A and B are shown apart, each in its own frame.
Chain A
């Protein structure tokens, strides 16, 4: 897995990154030694975490790698929230002072009772909402500063999967997946092969010409995952992807997300599925009343 990450093409080169760092002192960056150099309060955020958390272990991997002194800093941070608060216009406080760092390649569960702020957090990450205070970084971009044309480009780096699939009933599986390319200006000739590739990835090659009404729940969600993967995103956000599925099918979907994660894509999955969370021993971030109350490996702990 680390090798794969090393070979991944980088969106931002060393020079640009250095310049960006100079421009923006509050931007979280990763030092050459492999320790996270997060300015302002980011260091305190990382301090209480136990040594075997995914973040720390990923960081520890850094120095062990043989690297030229001028090599670009690794690992990259996929998602970072810095003192993020969100108060909706109606006065409801959805998030309070949230700090969160997700390195690239992580698999993170986001748990918490309904109304804890999970949906708001996801909306902030796809810039459906902007934070009232604080900063949200995704793939190296500060989202509230993104404007106009750069927002759609940012969204292409994020794949989103929902509980209710959100497929278009009139379109076939192939058309539903291809739609994401079509509406982002991809030439028609290039859509077909790309769709075939992601359909093979999720195992739906045989169902390519069926409509959503002909598919099972698991197939619907795999279609949605294929659509989320079509832009080759760095980050997949799954909002309760197994909420409408029975346990066996849920496991299939989780296996698929794990496989996608193993190929180097960061996965953030909001879920109520205690069984899955407990069994997988991945990093679990728990939200309650808009605050992160727990951030550790494994365990669901509570009945939400």
Chain B
């Protein structure tokens, strides 16, 4: 087994070197594919994180008329809580709303403008949190059903919808691009290995005549494809690690306080995806080639 692996590896390296122009083309295309793939993974996971952050904040606020009896508010609240799409309902009194507003102003370092107003201008509110931000079902109609309770329903849903559609569009377009480039690199690997097989036609003929098993004929070529994938993946990861610091700064600048940054976990995920894609494409391309050209 060790002889077999050593033999296959030696032959693979020898083969790569023998067809070095073609091997280089395959490796560079492999790097291009993997960089694209890694960028897509990073971008999508960043957007996913941002989306999750924003979605967690999605709520429906209902501003109440002043002077609505507390009993009617409680009835509405229990009706809302009975809906399956509602996660929680909080009541914010006029006083609480004013206190929150003032706290927010102080936190932002701005002047408390409410002190110039004699009475409390803020309405009492019902804050409805949803189990799934995309499913707000009958919350709105429930809120608006009883006359004279809810003055206005405030939603952020439209913004969230827009973000979700952008993310899914990006995912689709990105996957199509990566798939196209992936097919290209696959074909280039197939061609590279085909040339390697052809340049060894005489050796393969002799190997068969002296009784080499199929494994000895085939696996060196599959190793060659795997090596193209491995080298491509390692170069890609090297490029990404060089670029990770500026990308992280850029992401932070764009996303602000939303947790979009590059965690160590994302890094290892990207490394895994890049390695798996590189080895997978290289190995698959070689396998296709060897199957097609060494058929007896």
Contact = CB atoms under 8 A, between A and B. Distances in A.
**A and B found bound together:** yes
Interface of A: 126, 148-149, 152-156, 160, 166, 168, 179-180, 182-188, 227, 230-231
Given A166-B202, A186-B3, A188-B3, A153 B210 contact: no
A186 B205 CA distance: 19
A231 B210 contact: yes
Contacts of B209: 126, 155, 160, 166
B206 A149 contact: no
11 contacts: A126-B209, A148-B214, A152-B212, A155-B209, A166-B206, A168-B203, A183-B216, A184-B216, A185-B4, A185-B216, A186-B3
B208 to A, nearest CB: 7
A182 B7 contact: yes
A160 B209 CA distance: 7
Given A149-B213, A168-B202, A185-B216, A155 B4 contact: no
Contact of B7 (A152, A154, A168, A183): A183
For the complex, would chain B's binding face be called helix, strand, loop or mixed by DSSP majority?
A: helix
B211 interface: yes
A153 B212 CA distance: 8
A162 to B, nearest CB: 9
B266 interface: no
Contacts of B211: 152-156, 180, 184, 231
Contacts of B206: 166, 168, 179-180
B207 interface: yes
Which residue of A126, A149, A185, A231 has the most chain B CB atoms within 10 A of its CB atom?
Answer: A185
A186 B210 CA distance: 13
Interface residues of B, number: 16
Interface in B1-17: 3-4, 7
Interface of B: 3-4, 7, 202-203, 205-214, 216
Given A168-B202, A184-B216, A185-B216, A155 B210 contact: yes
A152 B213 contact: yes
Which 3 A-B pairs rank lowest in CB-CB distance, beginning with the nearest? Answer: A156-B211, A155-B211, A180-B210
Contacts of B216: 183-185
A14 B234 CA distance: 59
Contacts of A148: 214
Contacts of A182: 7
A187 B213 CA distance: 15
B97 to A, nearest CB: 80
Nearest to B10: A182
A61 B3 CA distance: 45
B93 to A, nearest CB: 82
Nearest to B216: A183
B210 A156 contact: yes
Contacts of A166: 202, 205-206, 209
Given A152-B213, A155-B208, A184-B213, 13 more contacts: A152-B211, A152-B214, A155-B209, A156-B210, A160-B209, A168-B202, A179-B203, A183-B207, A184-B210, A184-B211, A184-B212, A186-B3, A231-B210
